[in-house]
Amino acid sequence: METTHNSKYKILVVDDNSENIRIIGSILRQNSYQVGFATGGQQTLDILGEKGEDYDLVLLDVNMPGLNGFEVCKKIREKSLLKDLPVIFLTANAEPEHIIEGFSSGGQDYVTKPFHAGELLSRIGTHLELKESREKLQQVNVILEKKVKERTRDLLEANKNLETANWQLRQLDKAKVNFLRLISHEINTPLNGLISFAEILREQLVSTEYFSLIEYLNESAHRLNEFAQLSLIITRMRTSPDQYPIELVDISETIHNTLEELSKAIHTKKTSVNINCKTKNTKVSGNDQLIAVCISHIVKNAIQHNPEGEAINVNVYTENDRLLFTCIDNGPGFSDDALQNLFKPFSPGEKHVDQNKGLGLYVVKMIVDFHHAEISVSNRKNKGAEITLIFNLLNSSN
């Protein structure tokens, strides 16, 4: 770290030995750091309690009379404003048990006495850089959260006006084209940028303590993107159904493609999906894209709500000239309220586990109706939910 840059940092040196304070203070000042001093544990807490925001890092001696360094660090971590303040222990004891106790008390690093000035400065520089990076990331997170909230509000408002917009789109072909272009540009484009940025943050900050926040940001961005895509499907199915041509669709192939796309989620959940296909005739008349969305949503929900380590069962079989696709999980199933409102947008129908309300089953029902097919949703007797799609095998179904 450049010394010209160091002057903005202030370090609190804590040691009951005045000679150690003199030496450390001299090293830090020679490298342009601002320095504060404390000679005991209680004095340290008093200083940080009054001016904790003034300091960027603490060099904390372990062996001190009264409160030792570990005890002081624990008390520092109890203060919400100081929970992220970097603490580097200065200790003459390099035993593993001693070092582990230091980390357990909340310290980020340690330097053994007698120390080398270069090593001390290197450790300080590293943790100050990490602190600055965390603070910048927090600022980015605040901005992104604001943008996500704004986009969510816009999406909810757009959905409220969807019925009116659809009527207008049916009346004027030009209005229909302009509306679809608006959705594609104003919703998908910024969301794709948000997802890409979240992926970059996750790759670059994988070793930081904020990785879980980046994961949450990435998950939220993908959820919003899925919401936008489902909204676009609803609009197209209502205003331009001819965009979804009818062809022969192999349900078995669609299932395998879906599981391949969801392999990461399956692995992360430590679950498995058993496919039991009891028929060679797995082709139905329909739209491949829409049926894939339908099956993907059902299997994705089953993975999300299934307990770790337990298998999900997918059955494909024929019955009375109809092809049945059944997905069975071992989760808690749907509540009674949810079962009464399964196919309503933004209804409790999506409250399977995480209480999210959305468009998932609503779009699934639209796709099922589009194919003149049927859907059955129920809870199993012991545990789990069962969703069945029933397609006509005859090509005349559409």
Q: What is the pLDDT of residue 273?
A: 92
d(CA 230, CA 364): 10
* Mean pLDDT calculated for residue range 272-298: 92
Range of lowest pLDDT (228-237, 275-284, 368-377):
228-237
Nearest to 143 by CA among 217, 210, 216: 217
More confident residue, 30 or 177: 30
The CA distances from residue 251 to 123, 263, 360, 372, in Å, are 58, 18, 20, 16
> Lowest-pLDDT range, 44-48, 118-122, 292-296, 358-362?
358-362
Q: Residue 326: pLDDT above 90?
A: yes
How high is the mean pLDDT of the chain? 82
Q: Which of 310, 313, 337 is nearest to 388 (CA)?
A: 313
Tens-place pLDDT, residues 170-198: 565 555 545 555 655 566 666 667 667 76
More confident: 317 or 337? 317
* CA 144/CA 84 separation, integer angstroms: 21
| Per-residue pLDDT at 322 | 93
Can you tell me the mean pLDDT for 339-350?
65
Q: Which residue has the higher pLDDT, 168 or 341?
A: 341
Percent of the chain with pLDDT over 90: 37
Instruction: Give exposure, 336-345, as e/b (b: 16+ Cβ within 10 Å).
Output: eebeebbbeb
Crossing angle of helices 360-370 and 288-305, rounded to 10°: 150
Say what the pLDDT of residue 147 is: 87
Checking if the pLDDT of 3 tops 60, the result is no
Picking from 231, 214, 138, 225, the residue whose alpha carbon sits closest to that of residue 190 is 225
Can you tell me whether residue 43 is helix, strand or coil? helix
Residue where the block lists tokens 């608006």 = 182
Question: Does the structure show a pLDDT above 80 at 341?
Answer: no
Please count the residues of the chain.
398
> What pLDDT is stored for residue 54 in this prediction?
82
Spatial CB neighbours of 265, under 8 Å, sequence gap ≥ 6: 300, 303, 304
Residue 146 has pLDDT above 60, yes or no: yes
Residue whose C-alpha is closest to residue 379's, from 337, 335, 325? 335
Question: Are 364 and 297 spatial neighbours (Cβ–Cβ below 8 Å)?
Answer: yes
Q: How confident is the model at residue 238 (pLDDT cuts 50, 70, 90)?
A: confident
The residues, ordered by sequence, that sit 6+ positions from 5 with a Cβ below 8 Å of its Cβ are none
User: What pLDDT is attached to residue 286?
Assistant: 92
What's the pLDDT band for 353 if we cut at 50, 70, 90? very low
How buried is residue 157: exposed, middle or buried, by Cβ count under 10 Å (0-12/13-18/19+)?
exposed
With cut-offs at 50, 70 and 90, classify the pLDDT of residue 397: very low
Least confident of 34-38, 231-235, 241-245: 231-235
Q: How confident is the model at residue 312 (pLDDT cuts 50, 70, 90)?
A: very high
Digit-coded pLDDT (tens) for 195-233 = 677 677 666 766 666 666 667 666 776 677 677 677 777
pLDDT reported for residue 155:
79
Q: Which helix (H) or strand (E) holds 61?
A: strand 57-61
C-alpha 220/C-alpha 200 separation (Å) is 15
**Which residues contact residue 149 at a Cβ distance below 8 angstroms, ignoring those fewer than 6 apart?**
none
Q: What is the mean predicted confidence (pLDDT) over 362-387?
A: 90
Helix segments in the chain, DSSP class H: 3-6, 18-30, 41-51, 69-77, 96-104, 117-160, 162-171, 173-183, 189-204, 211-239, 251-261, 263-268, 288-305, 336-340, 360-370
Q: Predicted confidence band at 70 (pLDDT cuts at 50, 70, 90)?
A: very high
Q: Using N-to-C axis directions, what is the helix angle for 96-104 and 69-77, rounded to 10°?
A: 30
Q: Which helix (H) or strand (E) holds 388?
A: strand 385-392
How far is Cα 218 from Cα 200, in angstroms, rounded to an integer? 10
pTM: 0.49
Phi and psi of 273, rounded to 5°? -125, 115
Identify the pLDDT of residue 175.
56
